[in-house]
Amino acid sequence: MPTLAILDYGMGNLHSMAKALERVAPESRICITHSAAELRAADRIVFPGQGAIGHCRAELAQRDLLGLLPELAREKPMLGVCLGLQAALAYSEENGGTPGLGLFPGRVQRFPAGIAEGPGLPPIRIPHMGWNRVEPTRTHPLFAGIAPGSRFYFVHSYYAPAESPDVAAVCHYGVPFAAALGRGNFFAVQFHPEKSQHAGLRLLANFSRWDGSCPAQVFGV
């Protein structure tokens, strides 16, 4: 039986993620852990999180995971969720500036105050909280069976730029931003798939069977 490990570093609703994975991957053993040995032994890893990047980095360092996570991301399929996406970039402006894991290049920024989604509309509220449409920019096994424009649930005040070379899907909230990033074995989403009903559960089901391969086609090409 394959093992799917949920990284426990003291941040994120781990049990909601575990329940969602149990539903879509009954053939897998789901464990919540911060043990390096268990993470190394797992077939797949989910890197969840919510909250501030500074606290995230401190908790990862306390558990001796800062160096381990990039190593594991090169070895086996890993899914970053919400803060798990932002922490994977090189740098975040949050908490006065915080280095990330460097799995993706780029800089995480705060949504600009005072901008609107369109003429005559009120300024966006920060954080971005609720349902929004996600548009894949290239094919990827984790989006299999999910229609372009499907809605996912978001809760965040900071975002990764849509111009990243690793963008796999985009969303718009005042500005365009990366809803998903993918490189090699590592795939990350800004939304919460465990809270996103059918589309989110389908993405988690796809991840539970993903072998880490990643086609490079761009939609429309």
Q: Where in the sequence numbering do the catalytic residues fall?
A: 82, 192, 194
Other residues' Cβ atoms within 10 Å of the Cβ of residue 138: 19
d(CA 218, CA 221): 6
